[in-house]
Amino acid sequence: MNGNLLIGFGTITVCLFIQCIIVGGLLDIIIFLERKRMIRTTLVGVSSLLIMVMLIMLAGNIIQITIWAGLFFSYGEFKEFATAFYHSVVNFATLGYGDIVMSEKRRLLGALEAANGVLMFGLTTGFLYTILSGVLERYWDEKLSPDAESDRSQQEHAEVSRPR
């Protein structure tokens, strides 16, 4: 059991490192885009940003799933990598179908992968919330600031005073 804990925690550490690198890189990109005022607070702009972030973070999760599948395959838990990958996806997503199980000797690794998946999905959710919160804060500031209010009243005044 101790060997599985060490292997599992080592694998989780590698996976956390991968996802932190991805989050850090995305953060740098988002800050760069925001400084250049390239992030639009429109429905399409915000949706595009969130989709890009979700897909990149999902790619990070797929890399981690592949690492776990490689571990299971290398320990001879599965004869085919595709089966190891499927089992790894089920573990990582905490589905727990039970249609394919590992040997009693290595089954603790599956539970550790599930814990890893919970951490990664939590990190993804928190990061997406932070991005959306920041974009919405800017949107509200732009729409509700005194300058925006005076711009709106000037536009309304111009429309009312325009000859018809």
pLDDT digits (tens, 9 = 90+) for 57-95: 999 999 999 999 999 999 999 999 999 999 999 999 999
In this predicted structure, the answer to whether residue 152 has a pLDDT above a threshold of 60 is no
User: Which pTM does this prediction carry?
Assistant: 0.81
Q: With b meaning 16 or more CB within 10 Å and e meaning fewer, what string describes 6-27?
A: ebbeebbebbeebbeebbeebe
Q: Does 148 map to a domain?
A: no
Confidence of residue 145 (pLDDT cuts 50, 70, 90): confident
Is position 164 within any domain?
A: no
Burial environment of residue 32 by CB neighbours within 10 A (0 to 12, 13 to 18, 19 or more)? exposed
Distance CA 132, CA 146 (A): 23
- With respect to residue 156, please indicate whether it lies within any of the assigned structural domains: no
Note whether residue 111 is domain-resident: yes
pLDDT given at position 18: 96
Domain that holds residue 90: 2-134
- Residue 17 included in any domain: yes
- Round to whole Å and give the CA distance between 11 and 17: 10
- Total number of domains constituting the chain: 1
Residue 159's pLDDT band (cuts 50, 70, 90): low
CATH number of the domain within which 70 lies: 1.10.287
Distance, in Å, from the CA atom of 58 to the CA atom of 83, rounded to the nearest integer, reads 20
Is residue 163 assigned to a domain?
no
The pLDDT assigned to 88 comes to 97
pLDDT at 148: 65
Query: pLDDT value at position 96?
Result: 85
CA-to-CA separations, 119 to 61, 77, 79, in angstroms, rounded: 11, 24, 29
Distance CA 6, CA 33 (A): 40
- Cα three-residue angle 67-58-26, rounded to 5 degrees: 105
- The answer to whether residue 14 is domain-embedded is yes
* Two structure tokens written together for 29: 């990109």
Q: Is the pLDDT of residue 163 over 80?
A: no
Q: Answer with the residue of higher pLDDT: 25 or 162.
A: 25
In a domain, 143, yes or no: no
Q: Give per-residue pLDDT as tens, 85-143.
A: 999 999 999 998 889 999 999 999 999 999 999 999 999 999 999 999 998 898 888 88
